[in-house]
Amino acid sequence: MTTIKLHNTKTRRKEVFEPLDKDNVRMYVCGPTVYDRAHLGNARPVVVFDVLYRLLRHVYGPEHVTYVRNFTDVDDKINARAAESGRSISEITAETTQWFLDDMAALGALEPSIRNDPDHQKAMPRATQYIPQMVAMIEGLIAKGHAYEAEGHVLFAVDSWREHYGKLSGRSVDDMIAGARVEVAPYKRNPMDFVLWKPSSDDLPGWDSPWGRGRPGWHIECSAMAHELLGESFDIHGGGNDLMFPHHENEIAQSCCAHPEGEFARYWLHNEMLQVEGKKMSKSLGNFFTVRDLLEQGIPGEVIRFVFLSTHYRKPMDWTAEKAREAKETLWKWQNLTDGAERNRRPYLDVIEALSDDLNTSLAISLLHQKFKEARTQDDANRFFSTLSLLGIGQNWRDGVRKSVEKAFTTSGLLDRLIEQMEEARAKKDWKTSDQIRDALLEADVRIQVTAKGIKRELGPDFDPTKLEALK
């Protein structure tokens, strides 16, 4: 069996991955807060953990992997969005959840799933569906002396777990107090104590609880849902490295104190952040965009995915227009090779090994460039195509709209006719006409090469037949 090695944030080392149960490898990834379209950065963890999910399925068998990713559908940002837009919370969260699923599917991400359970909804739990589990966990924490009630709030007492708190992110409680911008509240015993439950006024979402009508703090949902769906110990927990502190640190504190018999997550994986053209993505810099914006600009989801995979997940990733352009070219070439190919072969071993080495997707892609150059036979094409699936690429190539457009167009003969006209013009040294046709072809992304045997043409990834209409 392939050995997978993963960099574990908990130990700061690359470790051999050994699941607790090979028949049910379990992973939890923190999902989005649903109040707006996913921006490009939000898509990075989705693609990173999708590759890991596919690798785990390949190694352990698809029916032996469980992957849970939550939707945070109770949050003050959602409440604010509802208040400012005059729309209901449920309308906003339902709409945004569907947007997220559609956009991530466009990037080739598989939906999470629970082993032996076809109900995808359960693998993508909504926080609001797990309030009783959260309340039960908070009650347990209070009973064990790890949490206390104060002015309608319930807080986690970090001093009750002081020697462990901060281990994941490598800080001590004292460092954290010195450096953090924590909310100072008179009812906190320690400034680092964090909210498990807070009171809700009548105009805010709330649930009855032993501490009055209120709503959960953010961190408790992941602890409660992971416990309910994966148990007190499971294999992998993932998310962006901006979540390491406080979110993941707090998840660990809650889960390990509520269920000391378990270890919670055994391997912690964090992806680095995404930037745009070398700068932090932000609305004020004008370089903020959503996945949907890019899709609508005609950048295929597969191109976005490919650009993501070309940088290792633990390195900051820089999104640039140039990288997107290059990715499109590469995928276009690869698509031509796999036209008519079958996914009936095992993926290349060295590509599997690259992925198994802490998800070295950039190495996997350079290996694929090499394989592409060396591919000669139909069998090579089949193997290449099968390997691409492991990276989540090539899923939609079969029904590629572009292919059918190309075929319909080519049969119409217009392109042949234009090439003929260009050749005639060249024979007559009518450079003006020849250049005119050439420019129109280039504009439509038909690449031409003048050879001794005549003019060769190749359609580029941006081939647009409508641009040739004028020449008809």
Could you list the residues that contact ligand AMP (CB under 6 A)? 30, 32-33, 41-42, 44-45, 239-240, 242-243, 273-274, 281
Contacts 24+ apart (CB under 8 A), 147-153: 147/196, 148/189, 149/211, 150/187, 150/188, 151/187, 152/198, 152/199, 152/211, 152/212, 152/214, 153/185, 153/187, 153/195, 153/197, 153/198, 153/199, 153/211
d(CA 62, CA 54): 8
Minimum Å gap between C-beta 27 and Zn ion is: 13
Residues 6+ apart with CB under 8 A from 178: none
First to last CA, the chain: 59
Q: Provide Rg for the chain, Cα atoms.
A: 27
φ/ψ bin of 59: left (φ > 0), alpha (ψ from -120 to 50), beta (otherwise): alpha
Strand-strand pairing, 153-156 and 147-150: antiparallel
Looking at the Cβ atoms of 290 and 330, the one nearer to ligand AMP is 290
Minimum CB–partner distance for residue 281 and ligand AMP (Å): 5
**CB 236 → Zn ion: shortest distance, Å?**
13
Give one DSSP letter per residue of 391-431, joined into a string: TT-STTSTT-HHHHHHHHHHHHTHHHHHHHHHHHHHHTT-H
Please, which residue, 104 or 196, has the CB nearer to ligand AMP? 104
Nearer to ligand AMP, 239 or 465 (CB): 239
Alpha helices by DSSP H, listed for 25-161, are 40-60, 76-85, 89-106, 120-123, 131-143
Least distance (Å) between residue 375 CB and Zn ion = 42
By beta-carbon proximity to ligand AMP, the closer residue of 139 and 318 is: 318
- The answer to whether 134 contacts Zn ion (rule: CB under 5 A) is no
Q: Which of 29, 415 has the CB closer to ligand AMP?
A: 29
34 binds Zn ion (CB under 5 A): no
Shortest Å distance, C-beta 456 to Zn ion: 55
Q: What is the dihedral of CA 220, 75, 45, 389, to 10 degrees?
A: 100
The closest residue (CB) to ligand AMP is 240
Question: Is 226 a binder of Zn ion (CB under 5 A)?
Answer: no
Q: Could you say which DSSP state residue 245 is in?
A: I
Residues 244 and 257 sit within 8 Å (Cβ to Cβ): no
Q: Which is nearer to Zn ion, 263 or 326 (CB)?
A: 263
User: Judged by CB under 5 A, does residue 51 bind Zn ion?
Assistant: no
Contact between 341 and 388 (Cβ < 8 Å): no
41 touches, from Zn ion, ligand AMP, none (C-beta below 5 to 8 Å by class): ligand AMP
The region of 30-38, 148-156, 397-405, 459-467 touching Zn ion under the rule CB under 5 A is: 30-38
Instruction: Name residues whose C-beta falls within 8 Å of residue 208's C-beta, 6 or more positions apart in sequence.
Output: none
* Smallest gap from residue 249 Cβ to Zn ion (A): 11
Shortest distance (Å) from residue 48 CB to ligand AMP: 9
Start-end of H helices in 145-290? 173-179, 218-230, 249-258
The CB-of-111 to ligand AMP minimum distance in angstroms stands at 17
Residue pair 6/270 in contact by the 8 Å Cβ criterion: no
Which one, 45 or 394, has the nearer CB to ligand AMP? 45
Residue given tokens 């649930």 in the structure block: 207
In three-state form (DSSP H/G/I as H, E/B as E, the rest C), the secondary structure along 196-233 is EEEECCCCCCCECCCCCCEEECHHHHHHHHHHHHHCCE
Residue 324 binds which entry of ligand AMP, Zn ion, none, CB below 5-8 Å type-dependent: none
Least Å distance, CB 288 to ligand AMP, is 10
Residue of 29, 30, 141, 415 interacting with Zn ion (CB under 5 A): 30
Q: With contacts defined by CB under 5 A, name the span among 24-32, 94-102, 106-114, 349-357 that binds Zn ion.
A: 24-32
Residue 269 interacting with Zn ion (CB under 5 A): no
**Residue 273's binding partner out of ligand AMP, Zn ion, none, with CB under 5 to 8 Å set by partner kind:** ligand AMP
CB-wise, 88 or 282, nearer to ligand AMP?
Answer: 282
Binding status of residue 355 toward Zn ion by CB under 5 A: no
Q: Which does 455 bind (CB under 5 to 8 A by kind): Zn ion, ligand AMP, none?
A: none
Q: How far apart are CA 268 and CA 244, in angstroms?
A: 9
Residue 251 Cβ, how far from Zn ion at the closest point, in Å?
A: 6
Close Cβ partners of 313 (under 8 Å, ≥ 6 residues apart): 44, 48, 269, 271, 272, 359, 361
281, interface contact from ligand AMP, Zn ion, none, CB < 5-8 Å by kind: ligand AMP
Exactly one of 220, 222, 304, 352 binds Zn ion (CB under 5 A); that residue is 222
Please choose which of Zn ion, ligand AMP, none residue 222 contacts, taking the beta carbon within 5 to 8 angstroms, the exact cut-off set by kind: Zn ion
Going along 244-341, which residue ranges are E strands?
264-271, 274-276, 279-280, 317-319
Q: Residue 44 binds which entry of ligand AMP, Zn ion, none, with Cβ cut-offs from 5 to 8 Å by kind?
A: ligand AMP
- CB-wise, 42 or 356, nearer to ligand AMP? 42
Interface ranges with Zn ion (CB under 5 A): 30, 222
